[in-house]
Amino acid sequence: MDTKVNRVRVVESRPRDHVRNLSVHVGDVIGVGHRNQQFPEMRWCTPERGHSGWMAESYFEYTSPTEAVVKRDYDASQLTVFEDEQLDVVDEVGDWLLCRNDRGIQGWVPRRILEDVSPGDS
């Protein structure tokens, strides 16, 4: 992760928007489709089993123009968050942060509804 932020605060409550999500593991082979217009770091991916979905391009390595091998476990699940909740930042891809709440639940949250927490604010 490129940023020094370890903890963020939610400034706007937001439910996750999908129930079934793309979930793949290291070594899985995926089909790679079109690029997301709004989030260009994301590609539409289809695993051999499971649900298709958006995946960060940094999580896989191309073996052909339309196929890749997953190099890091990836789950596209978003996290339901509540205003003023504080979260640990696990990873960052473009405008999305992979966060973990205090209950140990992890998921993606859009950066626009988060603010950095100063070390003394935790």
* Bridge partners, residue 91, by sequence: 98
Residue-wise pLDDT tens digits, 38-51: 999 999 999 999 89
Residue 2 has pLDDT above 60, yes or no: no
Residue 1 has pLDDT above 50, yes or no: no
Determine the Cα angle at 48 with ends 62 and 37, to 5°: 55
Residue-wise pLDDT tens digits, 60-114: 999 999 999 999 999 999 999 999 999 999 999 999 999 999 999 999 999 999 9
This prediction has a pTM of 0.85
Residue-level pLDDT at 101: 97
Listed by start position, the domains of the chain span: 7-17+78-121, 23-75
Please give the CATH architecture assigned to the domain spanning 7-17+78-121.
Roll (2.30)
Reported in sequence order, the residue ranges of 7-85 that DSSP labels E, i.e. its strands, are 7-10, 23-24, 29-35, 42-47, 53-56, 60-64, 67-70, 74-75
Residue-wise pLDDT tens digits, 22-40: 999 999 999 999 999 999 9
The tokens of 46 are what? 């289809």
